[in-house]
Amino acid sequence: MSSNAFSTLNLKPELEANLATLGYASMTPIQSQSLPHILAGKDVIAQGKTGSGKTAAFGLGLLDHLNVKRFRIQSLVLCPTRELADQVAKEIRKLARSIHNIKVLTLCGGMPFGPQIGSLEHGAHIIVGTPGRVEEHVRKGFLSLDDLNLLVLDEADRMLEMGFQDALDAIVDAAPVDRQTLLFSATYPKQIEAIASEIMHKPVMVKVESTH
| Piece in contact with ligand ADP (CB under 6 A), picked from 43-51, 114-122, 125-133, 193-201 | 43-51
Are the C-beta atoms of 76 and 105 separated by less than 8 Å?
no
Q: Which is nearer to Mg ion, 18 or 28 (CB)?
A: 28
Per rule CB under 6 A, count of chain residues that contact ligand ADP: 13
**Closest-approach residue to ligand ADP (CB):** 55
Part of the chain binding ligand ADP (CB under 6 A), chosen from 23-31, 35-43, 118-126, 191-199: 23-31
Which of 76, 68, 51 lies closest to 15, judged by CA?
68
Is the CB of residue 35 less than 8 Å from the CB of residue 206? Answer: no
Q: Rounded to an integer, what distance in angstroms lies between the CA atom of residue 9 and that of residue 12?
A: 9
- Alpha-carbon distance 189 to 39, whole Å? 26
Q: CB-wise, 138 or 196, nearer to Mg ion?
A: 196
Interacting positions 70-109 with ligand ADP (CB under 6 A): 91
Distance between CA atoms of residues 21 and 146, nearest Å: 35
Distance of alpha carbon 89 from alpha carbon 83, whole angstroms: 10
Contact status: 38 vs ligand ADP (CB under 6 A): no
**Site membership for ligand ADP, residue 114 (CB under 6 A):** no
2: partner contacted, choices ligand ADP, Mg ion, none (Cβ within 5-8 A by kind): none
> Does 133 sit near Mg ion (CB under 5 A)?
no
Contact 48, 40 (CB under 8 A): no
Among 48-56, 62-70, 74-82, 113-121, the segment contacting ligand ADP (CB under 6 A): 48-56
What's the length of the chain?
A: 212
The rounded distance, in Å, linking the Cα atoms of 151 and 58 is 10
Distance CA 178, CA 148 (A): 9
Angle between helices 82-95 and 13-22 (to 10 degrees): 110
Residue nearest to Mg ion (CB): 54
* Partner whose binding site includes residue 34, from Mg ion, ligand ADP, none (CB under 5 to 8 Å by kind): none
51 lines the binding site for ligand ADP (CB under 6 A): yes
Which does residue 29 bind out of Mg ion, ligand ADP, none, counting CB within 5 to 8 angstroms by kind? Answer: none
Residues in contact with ligand ADP by the rule CB under 6 A: 24, 27-28, 31, 48, 50-56, 91
Residues in contact with Mg ion by the rule CB under 5 A: 54
